[in-house]
Amino acid sequence: MIGVDDVAELRSLLRRRDIAARQVALGMLANWRSDSFDSTGARALLEAASGRYPSVTHDTSHPAETLARMLWTRPCLVAVSDVVRVFVISGERARRAFLQLLALRCDDEGLRGLEILFGPDGPTDLLPSPTTPLLAPVLDHHDVDRLVPMLCAVAPRRGWSRHAAELLHELQRRGRLDDEHRRAVIHVMRPLVDTAVDACDRTSSPRRLPGTDLDMTRSDREQLEHLARLFVALSDPEALVPLHRMLGSADPRVSVIGAVGLVQREARVGSDRFALLARDPATLAALFDGLDAIGATGLIPPRYLEPELLAQADLVRWLSGVTELGRAPDEIEPITSRHVRVEGADDGLGGTSGVYDAEVHLFRFRMRAPHWSHARGWMVGTAGEWTYSCYAAEDQQSLEAHIESVRLGIGEWPDQPR
């Protein structure tokens, strides 16, 4: 068994100035097993996880987080009061691990610890962002009358609305929310929609700084997508109000979220609204995919369902990604279409579909200064069979060479979208 003295020796080595000693400590930590602790050793481990340790060059491990994670397999070995106490003096990654430790208990004590940390008197300014589904285990707790207020309490905290919405959606899917619970959820979540929509409206106004590379509303829109799914799932007429609020946003990307949600709830959306959203390549792809998922693409005017327009919308969406241009191109125009020979394509069943002909649509696009790519002028991208761009200038090579560059680029990066 690993005891207090072993943990104390590890902490001493982790705090040493010489890198060799810290490397020895990391090696010891890698060999420790979570089932090698009794309650005394587990408490020492908890205390050690609250410490801060210097990093080791070229080593991405995080000792405090690793120590906290060792308690996950036996979360009841340490007292909840001790977890709450060390939470406030720990680093962010350890705090994140401690929250999941409390959730993994799935008992009244663990839930009480979360209620303390998320409550009005808790250290809310220390809550870490939930980069993983931290609280998912707590859904197995039997007392939904305590779960719903706890999730509603954490939802307004910065960065937590998405995770809270996901968990409340799951409770609704499991049939655990009654009318009173649903009303409480709507009461808490509706102001979050208003705040996020207002932020998107301000940024999409004409006063927005032209040429900026930053999409300041990406996080708000992602939050609204999660909230919309929750309101769609809640079978309450009041849940339609925030969906209408999204529909009326000045940001067409937010309006799409509301439109699709209202259609899912079988609420009426005017045909002129679909025409307006489909006219913008930046929103057509999201509108088509959202309505296609529920079998309602017939609501889109037929003139916007042409393959070339859908391909252009798909390319604009891909170029807007945070790892690509970061926003929609300032200008985009169709060039032509080409039939290409595709060999050995993945058939989705673990094999290949052999050889077949497919259509690729080519577009030219460009960005204005000060975007990093503006000096390249017109660039070429493809959509259809392959949605991708190598950001090569249009006059740098022939169209066939552009297609070949895209094909090779996708082959080298298999995680890229088709």
Taking only the tens place, the pLDDT of each residue in 367-393 is 999 899 999 999 999 998 889 998 999
Say whether pTM exceeds 0.95. no
Transcribe 85-139 into DSSP letters.
Answer: HHHTTS-HHHHHHHHHHHHHH-SHHHHHHHHHHHSTTS-GGGPPP-SS-TTGGGG
As a whole-number percent, the residues of the chain with pLDDT over 90 amount to: 73
* Sheet containing 331-343: order of strands: 331-343, 355-366, 379-384
User: Which residue matches tokens 């082959």?
Assistant: 411
User: What's the pLDDT tens digit per position in 17-51?
Assistant: 888 999 899 999 989 988 888 899 999 999 999 99
Bridge-partner residues for 340, per DSSP?
358
End-to-end alpha-carbon separation of the chain, Å?
52
270: which 2 tokens? 């005017």
User: What's the pLDDT tens digit per position in 212-225?
Assistant: 556 778 899 999 99
User: What's the pLDDT tens digit per position in 96-115?
Assistant: 999 999 999 999 999 999 99
pLDDT at 209: 47
- Tell how far CA 316 is from the center of its chain: 20
Name the strand (E) or helix (H) holding 231: helix 218-233
Distance CA(406)–CA(417), nearest Å, equals 12
Answer whether residue 208 shows pLDDT above 50.
Answer: no
| Nearest CA among 156, 140, 225, 147 for reference residue 181 | 147
Q: Cis (ω within 30 of 0) for the bond into 370?
A: yes
221: which 2 tokens? 């829109």
Distance CA(167)–CA(204), nearest Å, equals 30
Transcribe 157-197 into DSSP letters.
Answer: STTTHHHHHHHHHHHHHTT---HHHHHHHHHHHHHHHHHHH
The amino acid occupying position 251 is D
Query: Mean pLDDT for the chain?
Result: 90
User: What's the pLDDT tens digit per position in 277-295?
Assistant: 999 998 999 999 999 999 9
Answer whether residue 89 shows pLDDT above 90.
Answer: yes
Answer whether residue 195 shows pLDDT above 90.
Answer: yes
91 vs 216, more confident: 91
In 265-396, alpha helices (H): 271-278, 281-292, 307-319
Which of the four pLDDT bands, split at 50, 70 and 90, describes residue 344? low
334: which 2 tokens? 């169709």
User: What's the pLDDT tens digit per position in 230-282?
Assistant: 999 998 999 999 999 999 999 999 999 999 999 999 999 999 999 999 999 98
Answer whether residue 175 shows pLDDT above 70.
Answer: yes
Distance CA(6)–CA(371), nearest Å, equals 55
Judge whether 277 and 252 are in contact, CB under 8 Å.
Answer: yes
